[in-house]
């Protein structure tokens, strides 16, 4: 292995998207849209601050894709109609003006939906009640409800929703879309054996459990063309089952990443609690498994708080880019601070108390980071 080092501030390219450094804002749901799913008043400044702060790429919070079963949270933004789309134009423009790129994360909540203004029910691969409890900082309360088993016809609606949302993302000026295949939401429910008891072509072995990923990825690619950036996010842990591991471990990881890369995506985004830690019993991290199984750019996420965490991944060639979540909320200018050797603020969960929205966070920052 070469001992050449890569700077966090070196250029990179995903597809034909030129990036000025290796630093990405991780997708984070902030429940700060209007009730109809259009972008809310604080969102432009929120996203623009990351761009002004030096991140080369921003991945938005998960946007719901249709008016059937996809919405997960009250005040979650959507990308399901023209009005939603129009509301993002000023945000994508502001981010571009400040010198960064922006990708829309497309998300279907499936069984983990805590609120849906369009239907009174959640839908998932199988009628399995989710583990854990709803998230109170997203206006949830108590146990999840048991979803209905989604029909094949409704699966077609899911795919059509992702396709429509991806087209709208292009029209709104985004540089690409990321399919949210992680963290326990709908696609991950299909991937996971205990939430997918189906006996049709969407259930059973790993290849079948990846069929929804395949159909969404190939349909979206067909709709947006070869140039528009298309990525996909994977995790083992879920928001309602933190310690979950893929059952066949490295074999599942290798199969999944190799297969997904064959479908024509531009990048893979992996998230773990600690991006640098081994994913299974061996020594390889999840991002490293993605890098060595797929010939694609890999974005790694999880616990990358300091410059040294980011450099470790980059220099060991475990990832090409690093996405930063909570530390970016405490430091929207993380790249600029690190590049100029200045002190970073510590993240505090008080930013999400009682609600993980932008108003609460702004109040916290005004009081504590004056």
Ligand X SMILES: Cc1cc2nc3c(=O)[nH]c(=O)nc-3n(C[C@H](O)[C@H](O)[C@H](O)COP(=O)(O)O)c2cc1C
* Shortest Å distance, C-beta 239 to ligand X: 8
Binding-site member from 303, 316, 339, 344 for ligand X (CB under 6 A): 303
Which residue intervals of the chain are DSSP H helices?
43-52, 82-97, 152-171, 186-191, 206-209, 211-224, 250-261, 286-293, 307-315, 326-330, 334-339, 358-368
Helix (H) or strand (E) holding 249: none
Backbone dihedral region for residue 15 (phi beyond 0: left; psi -120 to 50: alpha; all else: beta): left
* Shortest Å distance, C-beta 61 to ligand X: 4
Kindly tell me the burial class for residue 348, based on how many C-beta atoms sit within 10 Å of its own C-beta (0-12, 13-18, 19 or more).
middle
* Shortest Å distance, C-beta 266 to ligand X: 17
**Nearest CB to ligand X, comparing residues 17 and 182:** 182
- Taking the C-alpha atoms of residue 310 and residue 300, their distance in angstroms, rounded to an integer, is 9
What is the distance, to the nearest Å, from the Cα of residue 87 to the centroid of all Cα atoms in its chain?
20
Going by C-beta distance under 8 Å and a sequence separation of 6 or more, which residues neighbour residue 159? 212, 215, 216, 219
Binding-site member from 212, 356, 358, 361 for ligand X (CB under 6 A): 356
Binding-site member from 196, 301, 331, 360 for ligand X (CB under 6 A): 301
The interface region with ligand X, picked from 159-167, 175-183, 189-197, 289-297 by CB under 6 A, is: 175-183
Binding-site member from 17, 23, 26, 358 for ligand X (CB under 6 A): 26
> According to the binding rule CB under 6 A, does residue 175 interact with ligand X?
no
Nearest residue to 105 via CA among 213, 184, 177, 31: 177
The interface region with ligand X, picked from 5-13, 146-154, 257-265, 299-307 by CB under 6 A, is: 299-307
Going by C-beta distance under 8 Å and a sequence separation of 6 or more, which residues neighbour residue 311? 5, 8
Q: Annotated active-site positions, please?
A: 185
Pick out residues in 64-103 that bind ligand X (CB under 6 A).
none
Q: How many amino acids of this chain bind ligand X (CB under 6 A)?
A: 21
Pick out residues in 326-345 that bind ligand X (CB under 6 A).
326-327
By beta-carbon distance, which residue lies closest to ligand X? 325
Interface ranges with ligand X (CB under 6 A): 26-29, 61-62, 105, 180, 182-183, 233, 271, 301-304, 324-327, 356
């Amino acid at each position: 292995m070469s001992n050449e080092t890569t700077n966090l501030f070196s250029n990179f390219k995903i597809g034909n998207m030129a990036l000025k450094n290796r630093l990405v804002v991780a997708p984070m749901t902030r429940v700060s849209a209007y009730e109809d799913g259009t972008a809310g008043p604080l969102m432009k400044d929120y996203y623009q601050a990351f761009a002004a702060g030096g991140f080369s790429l921003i991945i938005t919070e998960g946007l719901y894709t249709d008016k059937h079963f996809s919405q997960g949270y009250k005040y979650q933004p959507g990308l399901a109609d023209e009005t939603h789309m129009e509301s993002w134009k000023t945000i994508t423009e502001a981010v571009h003006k400040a010198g960064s790129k922006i990708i829309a994360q497309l998300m279907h909540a499936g069984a983990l939906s805590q609120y849906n203004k369009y239907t009174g029910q959640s839908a998932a691969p199988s009628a399995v009640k989710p583990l854990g409890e709803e998230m109170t900082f997203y206006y949830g309360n108590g146990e999840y409800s048991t979803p209905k088993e989604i029909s094949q016809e409704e699966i077609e609606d899911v795919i059509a929703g992702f396709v429509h949302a991806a087209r709208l993302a292009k029209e709104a000026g985004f540089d690409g879309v990321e399919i949210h295949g992680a963290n326990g939401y709908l696609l991950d429910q299909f991937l996971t054996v205990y939430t997918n008891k189906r006996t049709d072509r969407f259930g059973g072995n790993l290849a079948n459990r990846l069929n929804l990923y395949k159909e969404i990825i190939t349909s979206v690619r067909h709709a947006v063309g070869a140039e528009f950036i298309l990525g996909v996010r994977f995790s083992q842990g879920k928001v309602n089952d933190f310690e979950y591991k893929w059952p066949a471990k490295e074999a599942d990881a290798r199969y999944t990443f190799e297969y997904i890369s064959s479908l024509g995506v531009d990048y893979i985004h992996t998230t773990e609690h600690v991006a640098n830690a081994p994913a299974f019993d061996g020594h390889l991290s999840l991002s490293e498994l993605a890098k060595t199984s797929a010939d694609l750019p890999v974005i790694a996420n999880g616990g990358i708080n300091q410059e040294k965490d980011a450099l470790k991944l980059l220099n060991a060639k475990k990832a090409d880019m690093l996405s930063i979540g909570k530390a970016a909320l405490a430091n929207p200018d993380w790249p600029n601070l690190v590049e100029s050797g200045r002190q970073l603020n510590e993240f505090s969960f008080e930013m999400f108390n009682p609600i993980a929205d932008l108003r609460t966070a702004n109040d916290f920052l005004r009081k504590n980071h004056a």
